[in-house]
Amino acid sequence: MNYFESIGSYAIMIREVFKKPTKWKIMKTLILKEIDELMFGSLGIIIFISFFIGGVVAIQTALNLTNPLLPGYLIGFATRQSIILEFAPTFCSIIMAGKVGSYITSSIGTMRVTEQIDALEVMGINALNYLVFPKIVALMLYPFIIAIGMYIGVFGGWLATVSGGHGTSADFIEGIQLDFIPFHVTYAFIKTLVFAFILATIPSYHGFYMKGGALEVGKASTTSFVWTSVAIIFLNLILTQLFLG
């Protein structure tokens, strides 16, 4: 029953976020601040993860291609498909649930504990709009970060293949161009946008409605990471079935 109550109050929260907007002049500043903190602040970790995951995928594929009849371009092909379809949008989102999600929950949760949210409400400000809406808007730029992740991932795969002696550069480049379906990129970006919304709202929900003190802020961050990850993985299945199934 508690789960249903939580889903219900999450839905009410989403409705409240879009009600009674904050003055645009203030909102603009908040959005830019969130873009800087949530997006630019995550660029480094996304580049790092994508580069090494791309490299590992390429090496794993190369090591499994034991049959000499299999063409060398398969390494590039498998790397591209894995990175674009799954690793960049889904794997990076799980990492972001830890990085961005925990930050959102703990910052909003701390504001709750120290009565800063009460102070906003007493002033007649829609605290949910003030705190959550800029995060949703900022995270709508998440597909751009993931696009960079995709590029870096494939680049990491190429570098690992060529420098590790697993294949030639020409084969790899042929592989990444082979049977390219542009809709796969569209599908990846649609997924990323849905995950971005989840990344902004579930951690906000756990921070905004938390009760207790500093210890509970930590607990709320952990719970928010778990539920954000669960939602991402579950929606990944639904969206894959809807768009590719």
Partner 1 sequence: MIHVEDIRKSFGETEVLKGVTATFETGKTNLVIGQSGSGKTVFLKCLLGLFTPEEGSISYDGKVYDDLSADDKRNLRQEMGMVFQGSALFDSMTVEGNVKFPLEMFTKQSPSEMQDRVDFVLKRVNLIDAHHKFPSEISGGMQKRVAIARAIVMNPKYLFCDEPNSGLDPKTAILIDNLIKEITEEYDITTVINTHDMNSVMEIGEKILFLKNGLKEWEGTNKEIFKTDNEAVTDFVYSSELFKKVRQMYIEERN
| Binding region for partner 1 (CB under 8 A) | 20, 22-23, 25-26, 114-116, 118-119, 121-125
Q: Which is nearer to partner 1, 128 or 152 (CB)?
A: 128
Name which of 49 and 120 has its Cβ closer to partner 1: 120
- Judged by beta carbon, residue 15 or residue 25, the one nearer partner 1 is 25
**CB closer to partner 1, 64 vs 118:** 118
Question: What minimum distance in Å lies between the beta carbon of 49 and partner 1?
Answer: 28
Least Å from the CB of residue 46 to partner 1: 25
Q: How far is the CB of 124 from partner 1 (least distance, A)?
A: 3
CA distance 134 to 35: 8
Q: Could you tell me the smallest distance in angstroms from the CB atom of residue 201 to partner 1? A: 21
Q: CB of residue 212 vs partner 1: minimum separation in angstroms? A: 15
Nearer to partner 1 by C-beta: 37 or 174? 37
